[in-house]
Each structure stands twice: as C-alpha cells, then as structure tokens.
Homo-oligomer: A and B are copies of this chain.
C-alpha cells in the first residue's frame, strides 16, 4: 500500500515536471542554473578559500554570498539585474545613513544617544515603508526600500558596538561581489530575457485574437465547429499584470538579440491595452456565439458575406502584425487587410440600408445586428492595434521586410501559439 502511494507520488511529480518543462523548458534550465550557482559559492566557504578563519563566527560571510545568490538570482536577466542594483544601492545608502546616524548622535550621552537613535530608526523605517506604497516606486524599487530598512537598522546599531566597521563592510562587499559574479556567470548561460518574453507575449496575444476571429465566421454562420483554441482570448484579458512586471524587468536589460538600447518597452503597455480592449469586444461576440437566439436564417445569410469578410480580414491583419512583430520587421501586409475589413464595413452598411425584408420581425434581426455591430467595433479596435504595432516598428526601427523575408513570412505556418 505505502509503496503504491510512493509510486503514485513519484508519478505525479514527474508528470508535473514534464508538464511545466514541456510548457517552458527554460524553467528546468533555470532550476539547474541556480543549483550550479549555489554549489561553488557554498564550497568556497566550505574550504575557507578566503581565509576568513573559523573564528569570525558561524559562517557570517558564507551567509552573505549564499543569500545573495539565492535572493538575487531570478528567472529573467532583467529581474536579476533589477534586484541586484536595488540591493547594492540600498545597502550603500542604508549603510551611509547608518554611519551618519551614528556620527550625528555620538556626541550625546549614552541614554540620550539611544533615544535619538531609536527615533532615527523609527523615522527612516517609517519613511522607507511608506515609499513602498508609492505606486511607481513599488513596481520598480520595492526591494530597495526593504534592504534600506534592514541595512540601516543593522549599521546604526552595530557601529556603536565598536566593531571594525570598515573591515566588516569590505569583507561583506567582497562576499556579495562573489555572489554577484556567480549569478552573472550563470545568467549568461542560456539567458532568459524579460524583454524577449514581453515581446513574444504581446505578439502571441494579438495572434490569439486572430485565431478567434479566424474561426468566428465559420462558427457563427454554421460552416465550422467551435474549436477549443478559440477560447484562448480569455487569457489575453487577464494578462495586464504580467505585462506590467515584464516591462519593469525589461527596462533593466542591456541590448540583447534584436532589441537595441532604449527599446521602447513602455509602448508595449499601449499595445497590450488596445489588445485587451479588442479581447473584451471578442468576449461579447463570444456571448452571441453561445446565445440561444440566433435570429432567422434568411437575415444571417444576408449579412454573412460582409461579416465573414470583416472577421477574416481582421484576423489576417492581426496575424500579419503578430508575425511581423515576431520577426521584428515592419509588416506592410497588414494595412491592405485593414482596408479590406473597413471596406467590408461600408459594404455591410449598404446591405443593411436595403429596405427591410418581407415579414421579418425586429427580434429576428437582433442577433445578426448585434454581431454586425460588434464586428464593426472590432474592426476599429483592430485598426488601433495595427497602428500601435506600426508605431512600435517606427520607434524601434524595425527593418523593412525584403523580398526574401516576404516569401518566408507568407509561407510561415501559423504556429506562433
């Protein structure tokens, strides 16, 4: 029995590893990298390579190196650099403030010094904690404020105790540098760039909407089956927080791959916002798909042509810009599709302006009218998304696709997802 359970547990664990690793093998690589970074750092202190001696007390320095590696080593380069920079500056500032507080209060007697010190610690901790609530600073510098509190409290108390502060600071800094160096080396093996992830995520989200719109015409007008992948747009609606954190990480990253210095990371938030707006309209459209009221077949036949055209052309335009983004080329094929979608809108308006048919009830017209109207809104949203991607192309100087790229793009299978 117990053996069975152990077997099942092992099976469950390995299934999970396979699942998570299958979705993103870099996660397994990252876990290995952290292991690889921890082992040598630990051994340095095991062998006492820096001759700290055993008397310094309980692996004080080992701790700093191990701590640095464990805390600073994040999944993406941007997050790692961000944490490292915040940690470094916070330690320096907190240390300087601590020494300053000590010097400023040392002229007084023992009791009044302690009262003053307590007040200064109270004040600095309070201010730093409040800093964590400022939305802009929270996103990028939350860790900075945390480390300030820790370092300042420690230094302000320690200096008084007459230890060799400078020597301690030097040793500690050296140890932290050992930690940083290890992290840096390991980061460079199979690096995960937050910027690349953000770029892929935003492009994939656009592609997800295209997938829905591609399937919609066939599904609504009864020539196809609703496919599972059409539901993917729900994830797009919820992607705001992950986009925001990736933007914050990406800003720390140096030039990499096809991303230059000062790549306009902020602009991805705009594209993301417009994509989510479009996804919301698609959600309403999906409501029409699932509704019982489908309206009369006759009227659906009337609008079928224009609606299918709108949804197909929007899908093509979005696919084009998504592919263009992934290849980092200026997509010139998207605009004609948007134009054709807009032409289909005009066309639909013509169809709808024809006198009303025979004995149709307004209730029968309702579903078709809703779908038509939502699709018109979606065409406008698509145009916005396409424009914002074009803006990105201009801001980040995407290449114009040459002939060879064109052929490749057209023949690309739509396997972005």
Contacts and interface: CB of A to CB of B under 8 A. Distances in A.
A66 B134 contact: no
A231 to B, nearest CB: 13
A163 to B, nearest CB: 5
A213 interface: no
Contact of A16 (B134, B150, B355, B370): B134
Interface stretch (A3-11, A152-160, A318-326, A384-392): A152-160
- Please state the number of chain copies in the assembly: 2
Given A125-B35, A133-B20, A118 B161 contact: no
Interface in A284-335: 284, 287-288, 291, 293
Nearest to A44: B157
Interface residues of A, number: 98
A356 interface: yes
A49 to B, nearest CB: 12
Contact of A146 (B16, B71, B240, B377): B71
A174 interface: no
Interface stretch (A23-31, A199-207, A247-255, A398-406): A23-31
A362 B370 contact: no
Nearest to A155: B59
A277 interface: yes
Contacts of A130: 17, 20, 27-28, 31
A403 B351 CA distance: 58
A63 interface: yes
A31 B153 contact: no
A147 to B, nearest CB: 9
A230 interface: no
A129 B42 contact: no
B149 A70 contact: yes
